[in-house]
Amino acid sequence: MLDPTAVNHLPMPTPVFRFAPSPNGELHLGHALSAILNHDLARAAGGRFLVRIEDVDAARARPAFVAGILADLDWLGLAYERPPRFQSDHVADYRAAIDRLAAMGLVYPSFASRADVAEAVAAAERAVGRPAPRDPDGAPLHPGLDRDLDPTDAARRVAAGEPHALRLRMAEAAALAGPLAWDEAGAGPAGETGTVTADPLAWGDVVLARKDAPASYHLAVVVDDAAEGVTDVVRGRDLFHATAVHRLLQTLLGLPAPRYRHHGLVLGPDGRKLSKSLKSEGLAALRAAGATPADIRARLGLV
């Protein structure tokens, strides 16, 4: 007789959540919301909660901010697996991912400075008499400077140490990947939820690495989420549209797709998204003014 209670379930992978701050400022209430949601959702799901310090951009990361972030997390009582992961320890992995994309013919070096790019955008706007196309964050799309350089010439300039950024050939990359979507448990700025169609073309030729940063945010985040087995990405709605680039890179690199949950942003008294310079909503300032972790949860509507 078969025992109907002895169903052989496939083991479900343990959910893995992460909070991934960049140490270029102090944590504010918006970060606290992300951190607390990740921690609480992991706990409710019997999953793991990881912290990752996104310090790959050495020009902007500061050790003092790392210490402050970890102190704030401890103060909030959010237990995470020790030690936290530091992106700066994994530069070789980002390089390997860029090399894979390059081997697929999807990467080019761009020697143009920021000023060259701004000038090319301005010239294109003058020529057509209207604003240049913008990415979802409102920045002009890269005008493709150096996209069509002779490959031998470009390789020679790279070998000679000429400063450059590495950019993705977006049109080719998106064509190779085909249609993309993600599973959204939260919502985008226009209420997008459920299965969301990814539109990486909206971002143009995104940067994969710069001379002062061995990996861009987009590249490092997909490599790290896969390396850490992250199943659930919970983060602010300001990164909703960036998910299209992440799904593209995951697909090209053969990495699994996590589930995504983008949460609402915490607004300051002026109705604008909190910035790292807004000291009054900084966790350290709130703590110094006598706030308790319970007060922080209450202010965020999390009780």
Where along the sequence are the contacts to ligand GLU (CB under 6 A)?
20-22, 54, 221, 235, 239
Say how many C-beta atoms besides its own lie within 10 A of residue 171's C-beta: 15
Residue 237 C-beta: closest distance to ligand GLU, Å: 11
Residues in Cβ contact with 159 at an 8 Å cutoff, skipping those fewer than 6 apart: none
Residue 217 C-beta: closest distance to ligand GLU, Å: 6
CB closer to ligand GLU out of 38 and 110:
38
Exposure on the CB side of residue 67, measured as CA atoms within 13 A: 3
Q: 83 preceded by cis ω (within 30°)?
A: yes
Say how many C-beta atoms besides its own lie within 10 A of residue 180's C-beta: 19
CB closer to ligand GLU out of 221 and 286:
221
Residue 191 C-beta: closest distance to ligand GLU, Å: 21
Report the distance separating Cα 187 and Cα 263, nearest Å: 7
CB closer to ligand GLU out of 158 and 239:
239
CB closer to ligand GLU out of 15 and 109:
15
Q: What is the 3-state secondary structure (H, E, C) of 201-227?
A: HHHCCCEEEECCECCCHHHHHHHHHHH
Residue 262 C-beta: closest distance to ligand GLU, Å: 10
Torsion angles phi and psi, residue 226, rounded to 5: -70, -45
CB closer to ligand GLU out of 52 and 164:
52
CB closer to ligand GLU out of 80 and 108:
80
User: Helical H runs in the chain?
Assistant: 29-44, 63-76, 91-103, 114-128, 151-159, 170-177, 217-227, 243-253, 283-288, 293-299
Residue 144 C-beta: closest distance to ligand GLU, Å: 27
Cross-strand pairs, 207? 167
Residue 155 C-beta: closest distance to ligand GLU, Å: 32
